[in-house]
Structure 1
């Protein structure tokens, strides 16, 4: 391990409630015992209050007031970090190797009591993996480097029709994770405006040395949500009234899209304001998973759209 990791490891070992000898540190970390002495001297010089007791039952320890400094995590904090790492891994986080190294460091230098408590807390929670997309670790790491260093990237990306691929130069402002997918938000030189790109659709990626400056007040999150949830036009807006059981309506009103357009809600009805184009295109498909647990009361155009979609499905499966 690098010097700083070894010194941190010694600190974790000294944090236990038992004295530890230089020989024990040497064996655990596989270090020459003279190196251990040098590290302990360096820690003492840096201000760590290490106490050395000679004799058969002697050893090294640190003063109690130093054991709870912000450098260390208690058992509950360590368990929370491991839980968070579990969630991140199963969400498709791309820094898995570094994450595993960090978590292993948390578990390597705890005393028996802490280890037992952490083990119980960690085993109390599990995350069931869903369907995962193909690994994107290489692309995401390259994009992160470009974002951090503020340099442009050349990508090959499919057009809307996917009939052809276009070569683009983009200035990546931020990587964003939404609804199980990774996106990069940045300025597209081909379109001469900010755009969002799905990382799993990028077919090739080259990080350039061309620097860029991100606009001072640009918010990648706001840009993404604005494109995802377009503003309503007052001229084309229409009221939507849906009836259902309270628990079903709760779920409907928390839907990632419909939740942004809820206007009113009572025990058995929910009132939305949506554009006519939404009502006639994708909203019927959003309602299909709820089956007979909901009923569209208004408008009649949405009732008709739902029936049309169901008829198409029926015809497809019958044929």
Structure 2
């Protein structure tokens, strides 16, 4: 174990309330007794009030008030960490082994009461996501290190319709997890602008010698959302009125796009503000699954697009079936 792990182990052993000699600590941790003395000195220097009693029945102990106090996390904090770990693993967190090690350490260095509390709160708490893609784990790890350490990456990236990947240098500013997909936001040297890239479309990445400094107060999350949602300052927004069955209106207002564009709503009707490009492009495809449960009242442009998209879909399947 590392020095930090051994020092933590000594603390947990002493927090059991038992008096332990340096020899006993050394045997338990399988380290040299002189190493125990060094670690005890280091813990005392950091402010831990270890009591050293000499004599035949001597040894190291901790004051009662220190034993009773949580060493690092109280019960609710431990529960929160366990639940957060479950969420992270289901999202495909790229440092899963380190996360498992941390959770195991939390369980190992705790008393029996706290361990039972952790186990009770683990049971019956599940997160269901599509299975994470194990192939992108190493890419995610390299991206995260580059974000933290500020070095430029060379990456082979393949757009959805391109036949082969294109190599480009990117300064990664941040990682974003959105709708079961990982994205990296950064400055693309090929396009000379900040862009977002789907991580599952990155074939490989390699570290370069170049370093970068991200813009002050840059938020990868904010950049990503701004590129998803209509920009009222740059685009003219059009009123979109939709009526329908209460459950359909409720579900529509909870949708990521329509929820951000919502202006007002009632049980059976909602009004949104969307830009013309979105209305002509992908909005009809978001509305199509609702079928007859909703009706577009305005604008006329969206009603016409719903008709044309539906007709095109009908022609496609009539042709396919024949």
Shorter-chain TM-score: which interval?
0.7 to 0.9
- CA 1:79–1:27: 2 relative to 1, 3 Å: farther
Corresponding position of 2:20: 21
How many pairs were matched up? 318
Shift of 1:223: 2.2
Shift of 1:46: 3.7
Matched, 1:40 2:65: no
Q: What are the ranges of 5 or more consecutive residues in structure 2 without an aligned counterpart?
A: none
- Partner of 2:135, secondary structure, is coil
- CA 1:53–1:198: 2 relative to 1, 3 Å: same
Q: Deviations over 1:115-166 (max 9, x none)?
A: 1112111214122242433432211221222222222111122256413432
- CA 1:77–1:159: 2 relative to 1, 3 Å: closer
Superposed CA RMSD = 2.8
Q: Does the 8 Å contact 2:130/2:180 carry over to 1?
A: no
Corresponding position of 1:192: 192
Shift of 1:33: 5.0
Greater mean deviation of Cα atoms: 60-69 or 171-180: 60-69
Greater mean deviation of Cα atoms: 137-146 or 63-72: 63-72
Corresponding position of 2:285: 285
Q: Does the 8 Å contact 1:151/1:171 carry over to 2?
A: yes
Corresponding position of 1:205: 205
Shift of 1:269: 0.6
**What is the TM-score when the length of structure 1 is the normalising length?**
0.87
Corresponding position of 1:261: 261
**What is the TM-score when the length of structure 2 is the normalising length?**
0.86
Corresponding position of 1:137: 137
For residues 55 and 316 of structure 2, the distance between their equivalents in structure 1, rounded to whole angstroms, comes to: 86
Matched, 1:153 2:153: yes
For residues 171 and 190 of structure 1, the distance between their equivalents in structure 2, rounded to whole angstroms, comes to: 11
Greater mean deviation of Cα atoms: 203-212 or 54-63: 54-63
Q: What are the ranges of 5 or more consecutive residues in structure 1 without an aligned counterpart?
A: none
Shift of 1:61: 3.1
For residues 3 and 151 of structure 1, the distance between their equivalents in structure 2, rounded to whole angstroms, comes to: 30
- CA 1:118–1:61: 2 relative to 1, 3 Å: farther
